[in-house]
Amino acid sequence: MTDLLDRWFHFRARGSSLRLEVLGGVTTFATMAYIIIVNPAILQHAGIAVEPSTIATILASVFGCLLMGIYANRPLGVAPYMGENAFIAYTLSAMAMPITWQQRLGSVFVAGVIFLLLTLCGSRLWLASAIPHNLKHSFAIGIGLFLLFIGMNEAGLVVHGPPPPGPPVRIGDVHDVKVQLALGGFVLIAVLMYWNIRGAILIGIAVIGVAGYLLNVGQAPVGIAAWPWQYQLENVAFQLDILGVLQFDFLTILLTLFLFSFLDTLGSLYAVGSVAGMLDDKGNLVDVQKPMIVDSLSCIFSALIGTSTSGAFIESATGIREGARTGLAAVVTGLCFAFALFFVPLLQPLQKFAFAYAPALMVVGVLMFANVRRLDTDDWTELVPAVVTIAMMVFTYNIANGLTAGLIAHPSLKLLCGQWRAIHPGSALLAVMCLLYFLYGNVH
């Protein structure tokens, strides 16, 4: 069996072994498994039922991991992204125009198709170079702060302020036991991550969930295992509305979801590639098209099955640190997700209480904010668009506003400051598209 697996995955040639691949795959699952709890809890704000959404989240993860392992032969776990789910649930819910959850899934599907077509036609490098590095980092920072703010709001740490002229937000009731539990969960996860404890986020969610039950603000699971088909996946699977999103008002939504998926995938691939020694002498990934195709297909599958955008998880670096070097680790991660299909009752209580899952949103937000150290703060034409991007995302409670504003601000400032030679043609094209949205679209 070992020799048969090695002939397909070539783990010995990459300095690994069957034991290390299995260990790496299980470790990656432990660090990613929190998405089973958090993703459906977020998407319920988009009108997607929690129980079938949980099954869809797991199936999307199984599909992506197995495809990444068998086809791309990379040790990368794939699951619905954090950030994209918040955009689907919170940003789109704040839109002035009515948008159904079926149209939200349709937007994910169309964005995935665009991602796939651009990957197949070889436009990946051209588009990657069109988006300035500072803006890429500002996207991650802005989304991180957005997730942090959502987590604090879900936890009750931040609440709506009094009527004007009072402040728009204020601190919540810190004497509320649920708020205290959420604070404790945030601190616990932060400490566990400092000590590099595997599955820190999942452990933190579980511990706070148990604590909530003991303090009579939570509930115990009604069971441990159940057949997955009893959760009526058909209520969300293949319910997407594709034709409904093929209109001008959805331009910024499609652009945002596409850029999210593209940039998250690119960032994750290079980050874990550097950890695993998969970069060539010039710092480029070898045969990068295969994992990009996997992520685009995973995005399409996610929309079909009833969940948000999927892609390679940066948490895969934990499995790589354990020695994983091939797609066999991703296959193991996918099988772990498949096993989790039968234990949904054990996780359900944690999805219903914000004090249990909100700390995870806050911690992921902090992790994404770490990109601030990569910002170029010396060049004013780089710093201003980055800050505009971050501020517009958080202060307008709309990720798309920040992304589009930054794409407009960067080439505009370069042009006005006499640095027009530094403007990439693709950057100019994106700026025009975003400007049309602000001028004629349904801005919210």
Q: 326 with 73: CB under 8 angstroms?
A: yes
d(CA 318, CA 27): 7
pLDDT score, position 444: 65
Mean pLDDT of 208-216: 95
pLDDT score, position 180: 97
pLDDT score, position 231: 92
pLDDT score, position 442: 61
Average pLDDT, the chain: 89
pLDDT higher than threshold 90 for residue 286: no
DSSP code, position 312: E
d(CA 152, CA 145): 10
Band the pLDDT of 283: cuts 50, 70, 90: low
pLDDT score, position 73: 93
Mean pLDDT of 76-96: 85
Q: 204 with 185: CB under 8 angstroms?
A: yes
Mean pLDDT of 206-234: 91
92, amino acid identity: L
All structural domains of the chain with their residue ranges: 2-440
Span 140-157, pLDDT tens digits: 899 889 999 999 999 999
Q: Which residues of 31-50 are buried (b: 16+ CB within 10 A; e: fewer)?
A: bbbbbbbbbbbbbbbbebbe
DSSP code, position 310: E
What crossing angle do the helices spanning 133-155 and 354-369 adopt, rounded to 10°?
A: 160
Band the pLDDT of 119: cuts 50, 70, 90: confident
Of 338, 341, 359, the closest CA to residue 350 belongs to: 359
Q: Which residues contact 122 (CB under 8 A, 6 or more apart)?
A: none
Among 119-123, 289-293, 339-343, the minimum mean pLDDT is found in: 119-123
Burial class of residue 227 (count of CB atoms within 10 Å of its CB; 0-12, 13-18, 19+):
exposed
pLDDT score, position 210: 95
Band the pLDDT of 110: cuts 50, 70, 90: very high
Asked whether the bond before 221 is cis by omega within 30 degrees of 0, the reply is no
SS3 79: strand
Gyration radius from the chain CA atoms: 21
Rounded to 5°, the CA angle 369-371-373 comes to: 110
d(CA 334, CA 203): 20
Q: How many helices (H) and strands (E) does the chain have?
A: 19, 4
pLDDT score, position 259: 81
